Amino acid sequence: MRDFLLDDADRAFRAEVRDFLQRELAPRAADIEDRQSWDAVRHVVRALGAAGYLKLMFPDLYKGKLEHPGLTHATILSEEASYINYAFETTIATALSCAYPLHRHASERLRDTYLTPILEGTAIGAICVTEPNVGSDSAGMETRIEFDEARDEWVINGFKRYISNASVADVYIVYGLTGDGMTAVAVPKNAKGISFPRNYTFMGRRGCIVGEVKFENCRVPADHLLGDKGGGFRIMRGMFNFERAILGGSGLGVARSAFDIATAHAQTRKSFGQALGCKQLIWDKIAQMSWRIDASELITYRATKMYDAGADGKALMKEAAMAKLVATETANYCADETVQILGGDGLTKEYGRAEQLYRDARALTIVGGTSEVAKYLIAGRDLPDIRITL
Ligand SMILES: Cc1cc2nc3c(=O)[nH]c(=O)nc-3n(C[C@H](O)[C@H](O)[C@H](O)COP(=O)(O)OP(=O)(O)OC[C@H]3O[C@@H](n4cnc5c(N)ncnc54)[C@H](O)[C@@H]3O)c2cc1C
């Protein structure tokens, strides 16, 4: 059994959510991948919201069957969704990354306006950190947020790119500099001065929307501030912790999906008179995938269980980064080896999903902080007596 750190309630939840996604997501997966159907994505987001699954991360709001809901269950949901279609899962993971700072740092009024609809699946959220000149080095961002005292409004100027759910999201958490540090504000889609210059075409993750968001003297009321002015970096760090643990689930889902295709093929495909899996060069690949998936699972659910037990901020940074690093590298390893084990079948859409998993997996080691950034965060904790730099 792989899920060593999960208990019976977690396993029952996994079975329940797997059934749910088989009903709601699996029949729409081809629409999402082949026709890039946003309607299909929206349908499943609504269904998840209506079933209460988008509230798993927020025990005070969750009203379902689980006695102790939390990040572990949100990550199980991500894992099971990514197993079927990683592009779809990115939409809900991003919406939850938007919900997280709203839940922790927004006023009651803002939570009613923006958070509730996201968690009910009737609205979509986005996170705006990355810019043309700033990716990994987020502290160097160029977006400016100023306070206009006369009108009691925040004024945002900047350009964000690679923003998941850009143009389809109803609310954007925007990070920018205020002179005293980084600040986060919530910006609704209909705010004056926000625009969406273009969406990108990616090699994988087909069906999810990623694009640019421009802020030109964009104004939001004073109460759209999250937390304190200048306190945005702390908010962002908390958000990344949770996002990286969830990305552990995304990586696991993709890795397991590839592994199941590879093991089925290795047992049925005959070569030189025997099943492929009889050959040492092939069973070695299966064993390598298998231990990497187990390690990813242990490391990912260690991080989620730590979070659910109250660890956060600096106390979770290393473990969350490790979950993201190990599971997303594993997804790439497994998707790559699966294509190899399938031979020509691995490269064609006509013979299954291996080629899709290979394309989808590639984004995983880049989004939410690259593998290099994750290693920096891990080593930074392991070398406390020196200051390592990126
Ligand atoms: C599909 C997709 C969806 C995304 N969604 C969002 C989103 O919703 N919101 C958002 O804000 N951003 C989003 N991003 C952006 C993502 O977070 C960034 O792409 C990522 O942080 C890397 O930034 P970059 O692309 O600018 O690469 P860079 O930071 O320019 O890095 C390029 C390469 O250099 C490496 N590198 C950088 N600095 C160092 C160093 N000092 N030492 C060693 N190596 C280094 C990096 O690890 C990477 O391999 C998304 C990206 C993609 C591809």
The amino acid at 45: V
Q: Tell me whether residue 324 is in a domain.
A: yes
Pocket test for ligand 1, best of 97, 100, 133, 162 (most atoms within 8 A of CB): 162
> Residue 35 belongs to a domain with what CATH number?
1.10.540.10
Shared-domain flag, residues 220 and 115: no
Angle among Cα 10, 125, 315 to the nearest 5 degrees reads 55
Residue 261 shares a structural domain with residue 335: yes
Q: What is the pLDDT of residue 159?
A: 98
Q: Is the pTM of this model over 0.95?
A: yes
Q: 127 near 94, Cβ under 8 Å?
A: yes
The residue nearest atom 48 of ligand 1, judged by CA position, is 370
What Rg, from alpha-carbon coordinates, does the chain have? 21
SS3 162: strand
3-state helix, strand and coil shares in percent for the chain, rounded to the nearest 5: 55, 15, 25
Read off the pLDDT of each residue in 17-43 and give the average, rounded to a whole number.
Answer: 97
Residue nearest to atom 4 of ligand 1 (CA): 162
Count of domains for the chain: 3
Confidence (pLDDT) at 312 = 87
pLDDT in tens, 345-382: 999 999 999 999 999 999 999 999 999 999 999 999 99
In a domain, 388, yes or no: no
**Judgement on whether residues 280 and 205 belong to the same structural domain of the protein:** no
Domain boundary (77, 92, 119) is at 119
- Which of 230, 248, 270 is where one domain is finished? 230
User: Given 204, 230, 256, which residue is the final one in a domain?
Assistant: 230
Indicate if the alpha-carbon torsion angle 378, 384, 388, 390 is positive or negative.
positive
Residues 258, 221 share a domain:
no
The CATH number given to whatever domain includes residue 316 is 1.20.140.10
63 and 40 within one domain = yes
The pLDDT assigned to 313 comes to: 86
Same domain, 212 and 275: no
Q: How far is the CA of 307 from the centre of ligand 1 (A)?
A: 25
- Within 8 A by CB and 6+ apart from 87, the residues are 32, 33, 41, 204, 205, 206, 207, 208, 360
Say if residue 303's pLDDT is above 60.
yes
1 within a domain of the structure (yes/no):
no
Distance 204 CA to ligand 1 centre (A): 16
pLDDT at 390: 86
Residues 112 and 139 in one domain: no
CA distances from 388 to 49, 211, 375, 383 (A): 42, 33, 11, 8
Residue 90 inside a domain? The answer is yes
pLDDT at 215 over 60: yes
| Cβ < 6 A, ligand 1 pocket | 94, 127-130, 135-136, 162-164, 202, 205, 210, 363, 366-367, 369-370, 372-373, 390
Q: Does 129 lie in the same domain as 103? A: no
pLDDT per residue over 222-272, tens digit each? 999 999 999 999 999 999 999 999 999 999 999 999 999 999 999 999 999
The residue-averaged pLDDT of 308-317 equals 92
* Judgement on whether residues 244 and 346 belong to the same structural domain of the protein: yes
The reply to whether 134 and 200 lie within a common domain is: yes
Name residue, tokens 């007596």: 385
Give the residue numbers spanning the domain of 301. 233-382
Kindly give the distance from the C-alpha atom of residue 211 to the centroid of ligand 1, in angstroms, as a whole number: 14
CATH code at position 213: 2.40.110.10
Q: 358 CA distance to ligand 1 centroid (A)?
A: 19
Per-residue pLDDT tens digits for 55-93:
999 999 999 999 999 999 999 999 999 999 999 999 999
Per-residue pLDDT tens for 155-197?
Answer: 999 999 999 999 999 999 999 999 999 999 999 999 999 999 9
Residue 283 — pLDDT band, cuts 50, 70, 90?
Answer: very high
Q: How far is CA 321 from CA 112, 246, 304, 305, 326, in A?
A: 32, 11, 12, 14, 9
For residue 350, which phi and psi values (nearest 5 degrees)? -65, -25
Ligand 1 nearest atom to the CA of residue 128, by list position:
11
Q: What are phi and psi of 373, to 5 degrees?
A: -65, -40
> Is residue 3, in this structure, part of any structural domain at all?
no
Residue 387 lies in a domain: no
CA of 253 to the centre of ligand 1 (A): 22
Distance (Å) from CA 363 to ligand 1 centroid: 10
> Which residues are CB-contacts of 112 (< 8 A; sequence separation ≥ 6)?
none
Residue 312 lies in a domain: yes
pLDDT at residue 205, rounded to an integer: 96
Give the DSSP letter string of 246-292: HHHHHHHHHHHHHHHHHHHHHHH-EETTEEGGGSHHHHHHHHHHHHH
User: pLDDT at position 3, please?
Assistant: 81
Question: What's the average model confidence in pLDDT over 265-291?
Answer: 97
Q: Are 10 and 76 in contact (CB under 8 A)?
A: yes
Are 223 and 111 members of one domain? no
Residues 316-342: pLDDT tens digits? 999 999 999 999 999 999 999 999 999
Same domain for 131 and 63?
no
Residue 389 inside a domain? The answer is no
